[in-house]
Every structure is written in C-alpha cells, then in structure tokens.
Structure 1
C-alpha cells in the first residue's frame, strides 16, 4: 500500500478557513456547527451537544471526538470499523445515524469527529430511573432492539458489545443501537485464511453481558453472543439492575451458575478450555437452576420462557433473532414493515489490507473523504 502522509495544508489547517475552536473540549469544527454543552468525557474522547446552523430549525446533534486516534492502533481499528458499519447500516430507524464526519490533524484538536443524532438518554439511564415500566413498555423496547439486531445480523455482523449503555432512547421512545467499535464481520467470503481479519479475539463485550462461551475461551463463537446479551438486557428491564454483575471472569461465571445452575459435562467438554474444566470438572459440586418466576415473579410466563431460551449455557440452543421476533412475547408490538434485512453481507475484506499504522491512517482518511463526498452529492440532489 502506498505511503500516506498529511499535506502541510492539512497539518496547519490552512485549508479550513471556516473552522472555529471550542476551547472547553479542544474542538476544532466547521463554523456551521455551534457547540452547546460538553456532555461527557472518557478514555475514548469527548462528546458535545451542538446545533447545525445551516439546517432548518437549527437541528440538534451530538459531536463525538475520538482522541489519540493516530497513536493507538486499537482506537484506529475500532474507529475504522465503526465508520464503515455505521455507513453500511445508515437509514435503519433502530440504528444510530451518522450525519457528518471530519478528521483534524492539528494538535491539540486532532482526532476523528463524528456528528450523530442527538439523543438525550441511553437505555441504562432509563432502566435505572424512577420511570415505571408496564410489560408492554418492555415488550416494545425489546422488539425494537430485535429489529435493529436483525438488520445487523442479516449482514453477517456481530455487534459484540450490546448493553443498555450502547442503546440510545429518544424522547419519543425509539431505541437505537450504537457503538460499533467492537463489531466484526463474520462472512467467510471475506476472510483470507491466516490474515489478521480471520483472527477473532475472545476478549470482547462488557463483562456483565458477556456470553459464557466468551468467558470460557471457546475458540469459535457466533451471533449467539449477541443473543445472550439481549437476554441479559431483557432481564434487566424487569429487575432494573444487571442480572450477572461479576467483578472478574471467575466471579462472572459464578453469578451465572447461581441462576442457570451448572452446565452439562458434555458442554464443558465442548468448551475445551482449561478454565472450563477447572471450574466445572470433577469433583466440583453441581448446582441446580433457579426458576425465572422466583427471580422475576412480576414478569409474564412468556417473558420467563424467552429468558430461558436466550440465557442458556449452550449457544447452539439459544434463540436467534428471527426466532425471537416470532415469539409470542413481542407479538403485540410486531410490525413486519419494521423488520427489514440487509441486502448483502458486510464486506470487511479491507482488514486484509492492514499491515501497519500507516495503512490504517490511509484507510480512515479515505473513509472520511468518501463520506463527505457522498454527503455533498446527496445535498446537491435535494
């Protein structure tokens, strides 16, 4: 791949005469966007609310600046994946929408700027609020998650980090899945054997929502890891707190055992890991499962049945997203018009081109420029 170097204009910012600085967040953005407030800061960077002054009625939006992106390979890879996936899934009402992109090389403002829909809440905040949920509220929330996940899975993509904090909730009650930084394409058509893209790490997903096959080091995993996370979210919608809140990997498995009981010997053998054998092998005691109606007595029998079929040790027996959509639990909310599938699998073969940080920088730059070009061309058609 050809060497990628930033031009002096890019580095000095002299090709950006309409840009302004927002000092409180070290933002350097197009003057069409007026920053309102800093919403949050974390290891990834900073998020601010803003308005688009060139839009009708000054449309509100969120600007996420990913910092240190040019020095940390893991952040660069996650950003590239996320951008490609957000563009690929653009338009689905249950997936966050990317409105604009920019990339700045001038310190201390350097970073990737993602302009997204401004959504006031995430599902974690809603769950832990004092707002009361009816069973229909839970069914509706759960159904929307399934609709977004169906679209993602139909593209042969695993999200790998589904949790309430990565599901946004609008004032109108629309749920949108976000944060695709850990997502991976799994269609074998795009995997070159022995390439980095074919090497799928098992250290993914926030621990509390991590499927047991990930914790127990099963080498091959599937879309079922997302379905486990969805089951955890369903339980949390009823209990208003995480179901399996482990402090580390061993504690996490212990918390799962307390509810599901011990896995079968055959399944432990299939996990084929030292950790699984050490934890469950003889002469370790066997534990029985606790019934869902004991844990969530106020939930319906249909909810209990769905939890049973999502939160099970055996990934192969876990319901997939299509089976969940057919379940009686969401029948009152179901509208087939809200359940589109992606037309084709996501092409992640670009990962086979990555051999260095320079390659990553070039691909990210190309992605941003391609997005901005598409946005300009779309605007001309309106």
Structure 2
C-alpha cells in the first residue's frame, strides 16, 4: 500500500514513505455502532491487521464534540488487558478540513454475542474465564471513576483463545458523586438495563454496570437473554417476576410513575430458584453470585471488585493467570505470578476540561491539538488514502 497509490487495497495512506508488506488481506467492515463504523484494515507500517474506527459528525454540536473527545481521551487513557485501548490515531488534516476522527485499536476476532448465539459449546470453564475477565476490566474502569453504561455481549470482544476486552465507550462517562446532578436515562441496551434506570432514577452509579454483567452471566449459563421484553415497562415486569416486588426503600430514587406502576400491581414473591434451571452449569456457587448481582436495590448490589472475590471465580482466575494474561510469565523453574491479579487504575480519569468547553470550534481546536500531541515522538503517522477503492466503500 504505497503512499498515494490509487490502486491500493488499503484505506490507508502514509504521510511518509516506508516499506510495505507484499501481500495484504483486503479491508472489510466488521461492525457498526451508534457512533461510528469499525473496519478490519492492514497497518502498512508492519503488515499487522488492526481495527479502524471512524468517528463521524464529531463537530455537529457541542454535545457530540464533548462525547467524542471524552471517548477519545478514554481510549488513550486505558492501560489494561481486558479493556480495549487506542493503538494509534490517524493524523488529522488542517483544522479547517477536520471533520472526523479515525482511531486504530487491536483487532479482535469476535464478540460474546456471536459466541452465545453460535452452536459452539460453552463449558463451565469458558463461562468462568469470560466472567472473570469482564469483572476484572470493570473493576479497572470503576476504579478510574468511569461508568461504561452500555455493557452487553456485543461490546465484549473475544479471541479464539478466550481473551476478552470491553469495548465501545461512546456512552461512557465519569461517575457523578453529587446526587443532585441529573444523569440521562438514555443508556444501556434495554435487555441489560438496571431497574433504577428503568424506573427513571435521575442519578445512578457503577451498580448499573454490575447489573448488566449479571444479565450477561445468566445469558452465558442459559444461552438466551434473561429479560427479553418488548418495552421498558415489560422489562421491569420481567425483573419483578424473578426478584419479587421490591420494598419501598429500593424505589427511593424512582420516578413517581414507575413507583405507582409497581405498587398498583399484585405483590410478587421472588422466584430465584428458576435460575437453577438455566443449565447444568447453574451450580449453587454460580446462582449465589448471580443473585448478588441481580439485586433490585443498587445500594445492596455487589460491586465488581467484591464479585471478583467470590469463590465461583477462583478457577477462572487461575486459568487466566496461568496461560492467558500479560501480567504473569513463565521461567524454567515455573510460573511467576503478579502481586495484584486485578489491579485498579493508576489514577482517576480526569474530565475537568469538559466544563471549559463552550463552543464547537473550541472543541475542534482542543481535539486537533490532543491528537497532534499524542502522535509526537511515535511511529510514522498514518492518514487516510481517499483515492483507494477501499475508502469509497468505507465511507459508504
């Protein structure tokens, strides 16, 4: 994929000439999200297959500008084996022509949704090592003060060796400690949405991500969505069918309409025993941990960090650190294990810059400067080759 070659199969153009591999697989789309498209492409600097995410319409309005800048900064901030991070950012054009952002991340082979709906058998070992990695990544995010707000199987990327990474931070934000500060309810795909969000709570915390993981845990056990409703109200009804009618104390932050809907219905006893019927893998330990995650009251729901200490995950931890992780290593005399199996973030993620963003143009300048400074002293920068055949398909 030589620079400026219109016949190239690559969507990339190099800002400087460097040697390229003789053969490359063609670029292809691998995913579409609410805030962009992801392609599998070849990095012409080393021939490595990577994922290229396009963030379009960045500067339509101030809200979009802040959201994209937040996601971009998060991807550059993350340093964790179970959280997807930015490998590189493409060189931006002159600021007057700067309209979209391209981020390079590691290319993963599939996602957990595709695994769950496939005929691939899932053993208890599979489930434990997947759940361990999800919670390990979640502990890291929460320790940095970040709420993901859209944990679902499709946002959990996996490789054939069962390595898992949390991705898609388009809805992520920093946790708001002030309960008087209102937060949007337009978060989390409905099937994985926590009761407090369904009931219109104007403030929520990291417990919403733990609820989502609980739903995914049940889906791994039963190979079907646990709460598959047609509407948010029906979603809430399915949750109370399983957990029973919640006490008033668990609905303290709910909006009046949601609280009235629960109270005017018949009293429901909990029916948690049905969780044992999800599959043979739904052992007592598995159901015990699941019941700690699927708690109606977020104040009583187990945290991601505490869930990692549950005995159900002991085997998943051992398997992961014996042959899958990057933090432990083998020597002739045996395996050398890290001191901290589930390390927190080294520091909180800062979003103080957002309050100073008052216009789209100011945001454009900040993002342009951030990308330029991020690239300094690194490898030969990449930019898009708009003359390539692949690019025409990519933008379409």
State the TM-score, normalizing by the size of structure 2.
0.80
Distance 1:356 1:344 in 2: 28
Q: Tell which deviates more after alignment, 33-42 or 222-231.
A: 33-42
Does residue 1:185 correspond to 2:174, yes or no? Answer: yes
Paired residue for 2:262?
A: 280
1:176 to 142, 165, 174: 165
Instruction: After TM superposition, give the deviation of residue 110 of structure 1 in Å.
Output: 4.7
Paired residue for 1:320?
A: 303
Distance 2:217 2:30 in 1: 27
Aligned length: 350
Gaps of 5+ in 1: 1-16
Paired residue for 1:30?
A: 14
Gaps of 5+ in 2: 322-338, 382-396
DSSP 3-state at the match of 2:52: strand
The question of whether the paired residues in 2 share the 8 Å contact of 1:101 and 1:368 is answered with yes
Paired residue for 1:63?
A: 52
- Judged with a 3 Å threshold, the aligned counterparts in structure 2 of structure 1 residues 40 and 150 are, in CA distance, closer, same or farther, namely closer
Does residue 1:289 correspond to 2:248, yes or no? Answer: no
Instruction: After TM superposition, give the deviation of residue 332 of structure 1 in Å.
Output: 1.3
Deviation by residue 1:253-304 (Cα, 9 ceiling, x = unmatched): 1121222121113323x134112222112x4211122224454252111110
DSSP 3-state at the match of 1:254: helix
Instruction: After TM superposition, give the deviation of residue 64 of structure 1 in Å.
Output: 1.2
- Judged with a 3 Å threshold, the aligned counterparts in structure 2 of structure 1 residues 246 and 293 are, in CA distance, closer, same or farther, namely closer
Paired residue for 2:385?
A: none
Distance 2:33 2:166 in 1: 20
Distance 1:272 1:253 in 2: 12
Within 5 Å, which residues of 2 pair with 1:35-46?
A: 36-41=27-32, 43-46=34-37
DSSP 3-state at the match of 1:304: helix
1:250 to 233, 254, 258: 233
Deviation by residue 1:360-380 (Cα, 9 ceiling, x = unmatched): 2222212222221253499xx
The question of whether the paired residues in 1 share the 8 Å contact of 2:66 and 2:363 is answered with yes
Paired residue for 1:266?
A: 249
Paired residue for 2:148?
A: 159
The question of whether the paired residues in 1 share the 8 Å contact of 2:134 and 2:166 is answered with yes
Paired residue for 2:137?
A: 148
Deviation by residue 1:299-344 (Cα, 9 ceiling, x = unmatched): 1111101111100101011110121111011011225643111122
Distance 1:199 1:277 in 2: 19
Deviation by residue 1:171-227 (Cα, 9 ceiling, x = unmatched): 221000011111111265xx8x99xxx553232111111111011111221111111
DSSP 3-state at the match of 1:338: coil
Paired residue for 1:8?
A: none
Distance 1:84 1:305 in 2: 37
Distance 2:299 2:372 in 1: 42
State the TM-score, normalizing by the size of structure 1.
0.83
Paired residue for 1:125?
A: 114
Higher relative contact order (CA 8 A, sep 6+): 2
Instruction: After TM superposition, give the deviation of residue 104 of structure 1 in Å.
Output: 4.9
Instruction: After TM superposition, give the deviation of residue 170 of structure 1 in Å.
Output: 1.3
- Judged with a 3 Å threshold, the aligned counterparts in structure 2 of structure 1 residues 71 and 143 are, in CA distance, closer, same or farther, namely same
Distance 1:374 1:148 in 2: 29
2:84 to 96, 100, 125: 96
The question of whether the paired residues in 1 share the 8 Å contact of 2:111 and 2:158 is answered with yes
The question of whether the paired residues in 2 share the 8 Å contact of 1:21 and 1:29 is answered with no
Distance 1:256 1:344 in 2: 36
Paired residue for 1:9?
A: none
Deviation by residue 1:14-73 (Cα, 9 ceiling, x = unmatched): xxx946679999x56437797522334455333221112222xx1110111122222254
1:349 to 347, 352, 375: 352
The question of whether the paired residues in 2 share the 8 Å contact of 1:20 and 1:30 is answered with no
1:371 to 371, 374, 379: 374
Alpha-carbon RMSD: 3.0
Distance 1:20 1:205 in 2: 43
Distance 2:231 2:256 in 1: 17
Distance 1:289 1:374 in 2: 59
The question of whether the paired residues in 2 share the 8 Å contact of 1:124 and 1:164 is answered with yes
Distance 2:50 2:67 in 1: 22
Paired residue for 1:50?
A: 41
